[in-house]
Amino acid sequence: MVVSAAGAVNHDEVVDQVRYFFTGFSTDPTTADQLIEANPAIFTGSEVCVEKSEMPQTHLAIAFKGSSWTDSSSIPLMSVNNMSALARGISNGNLSESMMSFNTNYLDTGLFGIYAIAQCVRLQPDSLYDLSRLIMQEFKRLAFEVSETDVALARNQLKSSLLLYFTIMDPLRLLRIMSARC
């Protein structure tokens, strides 16, 4: 670990703070991978509803268990994320200001879903039901109504995105990933 301080700081105070906050760590050599293997994350479906009348917008997310970074389905799910019309920012202007699909990968699990934002002023009594139905229709479309052309396009978009990202960030890692997965 490196602690760095710059500018008008008192070196002795910084050292004292570091000693205070960073000296009580365990000496147990257990690694993060060992902890995750012993206690993997368990996806638990739920509904969370927080009502705050002072908020001008309604935020709605519907998500399902996704895949971890190391899971063989992580790359296909990234492609499905690109296939979603909602991933491209297409939304229904009457029901939402914006929508997007998301695919979040963690070390041992993940989330795949769709997130929407709607202005509360525009919402009619059944609008949230209609919005959630629209989102579920998109999930249904992704499951049953995707053509081979859609799959090829999404896969090429993902490859292009990864190529651009890793060309800038880590060219050697890009080559290892592409040769192993694509």
CA distance 104 to 110: 5
Q: Would you say residue 13 has pLDDT above 60?
A: yes
Stated pTM of the model: 0.64
**Contact at 8 Å (CB) between 41 and 106?**
yes
Looking at the DSSP bridge assignments, the partners of residue 114 are 62, 101
The pair of three-digit structure tokens given for residue 151, joined into one six-digit string: 């799959």
pLDDT of residue 182: 57
pLDDT tens for 19-67 read 888 887 777 778 777 887 888 777 788 878 787 778 788 888 889 999 9
pLDDT tens for 55-111 read 788 888 889 999 988 888 888 888 888 887 655 555 556 677 788 888 898 888 899
**Contact at 8 Å (CB) between 151 and 109?**
no
Give the neighbor-by-neighbor strand order of the sheet with 98-105: 57-65, 110-119, 98-105
Q: Would you say residue 122 has pLDDT above 70?
A: no
Q: Of 165, 145, 72, 63, which Cα lies nearest the Cα of 104? A: 63
β 110-119/57-65 pair status: antiparallel
